Amino acid sequence: MAGHPLIGRYLRQLSDRLPADTVDELADGLHETWTHFLERGDDAEAAARAAIAEFGTPAQVVDAFVADAPGRRTARALLATGPLVGACWAACLIEARAWTWPIPTGVRAGYAAAVVTVVICLLIAASSRHGYRRTRLGDVGAAALVPLDLVMIAAVALAGSTFVWPVIVAVPASVIRILLITRALPGRAAR
Condensed to tens digits (0 to 9), the pLDDT of residues 24-76 reads 999 999 999 999 999 999 999 999 999 999 999 999 999 999 999 999 999 99
pLDDT at 179: 94
- Give residue-wise pLDDT tens across range 106-139: 999 999 999 999 999 999 999 998 888 899 999 9
> What's this model's pTM, rounded to 2 decimal places?
0.81
189 confidence band (pLDDT: 50, 70, 90): low
Q: What is the mean pLDDT of the chain?
A: 90
188 or 11: which leads in pLDDT: 11
pLDDT at 140: 95
Cα dihedral 131, 115, 87, 96 in deg (nearest 10): 170
Give the count of alpha carbons within 13 A of 162, CB side only.
3
Q: How far apart are CA 176 and CA 158, in angstroms?
A: 21
Q: Are 40 and 105 in contact (CB under 8 A)?
A: no
CA 141 to chain CA centroid, nearest Å: 8
Q: Are 94 and 159 in contact (CB under 8 A)?
A: no
Give the count of alpha carbons within 13 A of 97, CB side only.
5
> In this prediction, what percent of the chain has a pLDDT beyond 70?
94
- Give residue-wise pLDDT tens across range 140-170: 999 999 999 999 999 888 876 666 778 888 9
Q: What is the mean pLDDT of residues 157-186?
A: 85
Q: What is the mean pLDDT of residues 176-189?
A: 84
Number of helical H runs and strand E runs in the chain: 10, 0
